[in-house]
């Protein structure tokens, strides 16, 4: 019916004859006559003379008579409920109401991404150590009595790490151990040990500024395992040589680390550096071992002698005694090499703590040396080295210096051709200058 009514209506815009036009009218002007359309609400606008150019005529018709505008396709919408209608009217009333005491425009806030591992209160906080300022960017690690911050040195904009320890949260013996660790780290400074730039003790707190690594060996190995990959033989030999050189350095300086594991080897620009000397022991020149009153170390890498009490037990009041030596670190190195080759530690299959302790202290431990199906074949000498490191008797294990003299490269391939006798430290330097393809060609 609506379409029928529209068909009988007269045109809204009709051209006025020239003799009826006003004298001041534009030649292309049109006269809008009143057509008595019920759909037009502003009737007084009709019948007036409007000056329009030809390019504006179409818009004039659409504005004054929406029925003459082309119809647009609209998507179907659900009918509004009473609640939605009420909300819409409420918003309209709020828009019409005059604003009361409008707030001044706020300045846009500066936004920055804050690491999840650190609170917004700590992010951006400045630390001053020996007069040098550092700004906290994140947290690298946390413990019961301290944290390790990722910071930026404001003097040269270098990224560094600051180890913070709250001495008030520990007993006197543990606090003294932290102070001894600083002295030991200062004594052991070398390319194979994490670099310490400065430290300060104030208000029962310790702040140690160190170089920041890319990651530790444990996280790196986990990322490789997550991608269902294994380290190539060249990388295994490279990391093994790096670890041996680091441990030899501390042994030459009379220090037993006592907690060697992948997490305590830091990767810094491709080099492995030893960290965390919190439970290390110092030996004099004439000493070959040290006795501890408590078991120290990480169970998957701890040596049997560190778990076995050597006290006679004649008196019920006699304290336990655990005798460790440089060879205890060799056992731990053997566990690390085992994990590099086989993808897990020798006693990782034992789920309970006591079962694992019994397996470690067993004089004839049941250790599997069968390579996984997807593992690269390794030279027999590498398996033999693991077996020598994991001997139950500490005296039967080789020293770190002897492990460095083993010719791993010369037997990397079953070839009858003689190979040059190259020291391991020189091979390490050669490895740093070659990429993976060149290194493989060298081993071929």
Measured over the CA atoms of residue 415, residue 421, residue 424 and residue 425, the dihedral's sign is: negative
Domain boundaries, the chain: 125-211, 215-311+321-443
Between these two residues, 194 and 366, which has the higher pLDDT value?
Answer: 194
Q: Choose, from 84, 153, 252, 259, the residue flagged as catalytic.
A: 259
Is 90 exceeded by the pLDDT of residue 227? no
Give pLDDT, residue 111. Answer: 36
Lowest mean pLDDT among 12-26, 99-113, 257-271: 99-113
Q: How confident is the model at residue 423 (pLDDT cuts 50, 70, 90)?
A: low
User: What is the enclosing helix (H) or strand (E) of 113?
Assistant: none
Give pLDDT, residue 25. Answer: 52
Q: Where are the alpha helices (DSSP H) in 28-122?
A: 57-64, 82-96
Contact 405, 421 (CB under 8 A): no
Q: Which of 401, 444, 404 is nearest to 426 (CA)?
A: 404
Contact 193, 252 (CB under 8 A): no
Q: Which of 160, 251, 250, 144 is nearest to 199 (CA)?
A: 160
* Tokens encoding 257: 């680390």
CB atoms within 10 A of CB 157: 7
Q: How far is CA 161 from CA 113, 125, 199, 203, 259, in A?
A: 20, 14, 11, 20, 21
Residues 6+ apart with CB under 8 A from 254: 282, 283, 284, 285, 287
Mean pLDDT computed over 72-87? 50
Mean pLDDT computed over 284-295? 81
Is 90 exceeded by the pLDDT of residue 142? no
Contact 358, 366 (CB under 8 A): no
Strand order in the sheet with 126-129: 126-129, 132-142, 146-153, 159-166, 205-211, 196-202
Q: Where are the alpha helices (DSSP H) in 65-132?
A: 82-96
% of the chain with per-residue pLDDT over 90: 44
> What is residue 198's three-state secondary structure?
strand
> What is residue 63's three-state secondary structure?
helix
Q: Which option is the CATH number for 215-311+321-443: 1.10.510.10, 2.160.20.10, 1.20.58.1690, 3.40.50.300?
A: 1.10.510.10
Q: Which option is the CATH number for 125-211: 3.40.50.720, 2.60.40.1180, 3.50.30.30, 3.30.200.20?
A: 3.30.200.20
Task: Give buried/exposed letters for 286-317 (b at 16+ CB in 10 A, else e).
Answer: eeeebebeeebbbebbbbbbbbeeeeeeeeee
Find where tokens 């010369």 sit: 410
Strands (E), 71-195: 126-129, 132-142, 146-153, 159-166
Contact 436, 234 (CB under 8 A): yes
Mean pLDDT computed over 352-379? 87
What is the Cα–Cα distance from 339 to 243, expressed in whole angstroms? 14
259 is catalytic: yes
Q: How confident is the model at residue 93 (pLDDT cuts 50, 70, 90)?
A: very low
Contact 30, 57 (CB under 8 A): yes
Average pLDDT over all residues of the chain: 76
Mean pLDDT computed over 109-134? 66
CB atoms within 10 A of CB 276: 19
Contact 319, 313 (CB under 8 A): no
| Three-class secondary structure assignment of 360-386 | HHCCCCCCCCCCCCCCCCCCHHHHHHH
| Of the ranges 225-234, 279-288, 345-354, the best mean pLDDT one | 345-354
Beta bridge partners of 132: 129
What is the Cα–Cα distance from 189 to 194, expressed in whole angstroms? 7
């Amino acid at each position: 019916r609506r379409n029928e009514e529209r068909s009988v209506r007269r045109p809204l815009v009709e051209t006025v004859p020239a003799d009826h036009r006003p004298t001041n009218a534009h030649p292309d002007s049109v006269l809008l006559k009143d057509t008595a359309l019920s759909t037009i609400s502003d009737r007084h606008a009709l019948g007036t003379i409007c000056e329009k150019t030809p390019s504006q005529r179409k818009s004039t018709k659409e504005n004054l008579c929406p029925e003459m505008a082309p119809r647009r396709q609209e998507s179907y919408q659900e009918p509004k409920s009473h609640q939605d209608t009420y909300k819409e009217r409420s918003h309209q009333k709020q828009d019409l109401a005059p604003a009361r005491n409008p707030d001044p425009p706020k300045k846009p806030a500066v936004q920055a991404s804050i690491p999840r591992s650190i609170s917004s209160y700590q992010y951006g906080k400045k630390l001053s150590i020996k007069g040098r300022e550092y700004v906290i960017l994140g947290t690298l690690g946390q413990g019961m009595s301290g944290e390790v911050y990722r910071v930026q040195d404001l003097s040269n904009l270098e990224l560094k790490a600051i180890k913070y320890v709250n001495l008030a949260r520990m007993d006197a013996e543990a606090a003294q151990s932290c102070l001894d660790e600083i002295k030991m780290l200062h004594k052991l400074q070398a390319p194979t040990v994490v670099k310490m730039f400065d430290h300060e003790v104030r208000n029962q707190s310790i702040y140690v500024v160190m170089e920041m690594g890319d990651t530790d060996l444990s996280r790196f190995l986990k990322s490789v395992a997550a991608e269902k990959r294994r380290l190539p033989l060249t990388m295994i030999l490279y990391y093994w040589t790096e670890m041996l050189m680091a441990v030899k350095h501390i042994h030459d300086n009379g220090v037993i680390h006592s907690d060697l594991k992948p997490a305590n080897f830091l990767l810094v620009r491709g080099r492995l550096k030893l960290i965390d000397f919190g439970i290390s022991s110092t030996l004099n020149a004439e000493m070959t071992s040290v006795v501890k009153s408590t078991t120290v170390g990480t169970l998957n890498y701890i040596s049997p002698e560190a778990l076995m009490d050597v006290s006679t037990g004649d008196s019920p009041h006699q304290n336990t005694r655990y005798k460790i030596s440089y060879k205890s670190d060799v056992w731990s190195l053997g566990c690390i090499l085992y994990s590099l080759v086989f993808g897990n530690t020798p006693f990782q299959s034992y789920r309970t703590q006591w079962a694992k302790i019994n397996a470690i202290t067993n004089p004839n431990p049941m250790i599997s040396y069968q390579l996984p199906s997807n593992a690269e074949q390794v030279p027999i000498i590498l398996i033999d080295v693991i077996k020598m490191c994991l001997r139950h008797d500490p005296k039967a294990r080789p020293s770190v210096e002897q492990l460095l003299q083993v010719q791993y490269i010369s037997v990397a391939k079953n070839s009858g051709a003689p190979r040059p006798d190259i020291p391991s430290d020189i091979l390490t330097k050669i490895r740093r200058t070659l990429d993976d393809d060149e290194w493989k060609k060298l081993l071929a």
